[in-house]
Structure 1
Amino acid sequence: MKKRITLLFVLLLAFSLAACGQKIDTPSEKKESGESPALNLERISIVTGGTGGTYYPLGGEMAKIVGKELDVEANSQSSGASVENMQLLQDGDADIAFTQTDIASYAVEGKEMFKEKVDQVTGIGTLYPETVQIVTLKDSGIKSVEDLKGKKVSVGAPGSGTFANAEQILKVHGITMEDIDAQHLSFDESTEGIQDGNIQAAFITAGTPTGAVDALSATNPVTVVPIADDKIKELIDTHPYYIEDTVKSGTYKLEADVKTVAVLSMLTVRKDMDEEAVYQITKAIFENVDKISHAKGELISAEKAVEGMGIDFHPGAKKYFEEKGILK
Structure 2
Amino acid sequence: MFNKKGLLTISMLFLLSLVLFACGGGASDGGGSGDDSEGDAGGGDEEGEQFIQVLTGGTEGTYYPLGGTFAQVINDNLDNVEANATSTGASVENMNAISEGDGEIAFTQTDIAAYAAGGEVMFEEPNEDFGAIGTLYPETIQIVATQDSGIETVEDLEGKTVSVGAPGSGTNANADNILEVHGLDINEDIQARDLDFGDSTTGIQDGTIDAAFITSGTPTGAVESLAATSDVTIVNISTEKAQELMDQYSYYSEDEIPEGTYGLEESVSTVAVQAMLVAHSDLSEDLVYEMTKAIFENTDQISHAKGELISAESALDGVGVDLHPGAQKYFDENGISE
TM-score computed with the length of structure 1 as normaliser: 0.87
1:64 to 48, 55, 72: 72
- CA contact 2:132–2:319 (8 Å) conserved in 1: yes
- Give the 3-state SS of the residue equivalent to 1:80 in structure 2: coil
1:211 partner amino acid:
G
Aligned residue for 1:17? Answer: none
Q: How does 1:155-174 map to 2 (within 5 A)?
A: 155-174=164-183
Q: Choose the corresponding residue for 1:313, options 311, 323, 326.
A: 323
Q: In the superposition, relative to structure 1, how do residues 55 and 159 fare at CA in structure 2: closer, same or farther (>3 Å)? A: closer
Q: Does 1:139 align with 2:148?
A: yes
The corresponding residue for 1:130 is 139
1:261 and 2:271 matched = yes
Shift of 1:159: 4.9
Kindly state the Cα deviation for residue 158 of structure 1 after the two structures are TM-superposed: 4.6
CA distance in 1, matches of 2:274, 2:109: 6
> Would the aligned equivalents of 2:139 and 2:272 in 1 still touch at CA under 8 Å?
yes
Q: Structure 2: where are the runs of 5+ without partners?
A: 1-40
- Counterpart amino acid of residue 64 in structure 2: Y
Q: Is the CA contact 1:123–1:269 (under 8 Å) kept in the aligned structure 2?
A: yes
Superposed CA deviations along residues 198-255 of structure 1, whole A, max 9, x for unmatched, are 0010000000000100111011110100001110000000000000000111110111
Are 1:50 and 2:62 matched, yes or no? Answer: no
Matches within 5 A, 1:212-223: 212-223=222-233
Give the partner amino acid of 1:172. Answer: V
Rounded Cα–Cα distance in structure 1 between residues aligned with 2:176 and 2:319 = 23
Letter in 2 for 1:312: D
Alignment RMSD (CA, Å): 1.8
- Counterparts of 2:324 and 2:255, CA distance in 1: 28
Q: Displacement, 1:42?
A: 2.0
The C-alpha deviation readout for 1:4-33, integer Å capped at 9, x for no partner, is xxxxxxxxxxxxxxxxx99x99xxxxxxxx
Q: How many residue pairs are counted as aligned between the two chains?
A: 297
Match of 1:207 among 187, 192, 217: 217
Determine the C-alpha separation between the residues in 1 that align with 2:229 and 2:150: 18
- Alpha-carbon distance in 2 for matches of 1:44, 1:208: 27
Please give the secondary structure, in 2, of the residue aligned with 1:208: coil
Q: Secondary structure at the match of 2:330?
A: helix
- Cα offsets for 1:277-310 (capped at 9, x unmatched): 0000000000001111211110000000011111
CA distance in 2, matches of 1:79, 1:184: 15
Q: Which residue of 1 aligns with 2:24?
A: none
Conservation of the 8 A alpha-carbon contact between 1:243 and 1:261? yes
Once the two structures are superposed, residues 137-165 of structure 1 have per-residue CA deviations (whole angstroms, 9 ceiling, x without a partner) of: 01210010000001110011355311110
Q: Deviations over 1:92-121 (max 9, x none)?
A: 111000000000000010000001111101
Q: Determine if contact 2:106/2:278 at 8 Å carries over to the other structure.
A: yes
Q: Aligned partner of 1:57: which letter?
A: P
Aligned to 2:130: 121
Residue 158 and residue 50 in structure 1: after superposition, are their counterparts in 2 closer, same or farther (change >3 A)?
closer
**Partner residue in 1 for 2:38:** none
Tell me which of 275, 279, 287 is aligned to 2:285.
275
Q: Normalization by structure 2: what TM-score?
A: 0.85
Q: Deviations over 1:305-327 (max 9, x none)?
A: 01111100001000001111113
Deviation of 1:41 (Å): 5.2
Structure-2 separation of matches of 1:244 and 1:121: 28
What amino acid sits opposite 2:321 in the alignment? I
2:84 to 60, 64, 75: 75
What does residue 240 of structure 1 align with?
250
Does residue 1:111 correspond to 2:112, yes or no? no
Deviations 1:167-209 (A, max 9, x none): 1100000000211111111100000000000001000000000
Q: Report the 3-state secondary structure (helix = DSSP H, G, I; strand = E; otherwise coil) of the residue aligned with 1:279.
A: helix
- Conserved 8 A contact 1:318-1:327: no
* Partner deviation per Cα, 1:47-73 (whole Å, 9 max, x = no partner): 100000000000000000000100321
Structure 1 runs of 4+ aligned residues shifted over 2 Å read 157-160
Distance 1:305-1:248 versus aligned 2 partners, 3 A rule = same
Provide the residue aligned with 1:3 in structure 2: none
Q: Does 2:311 correspond to 1:301? A: yes
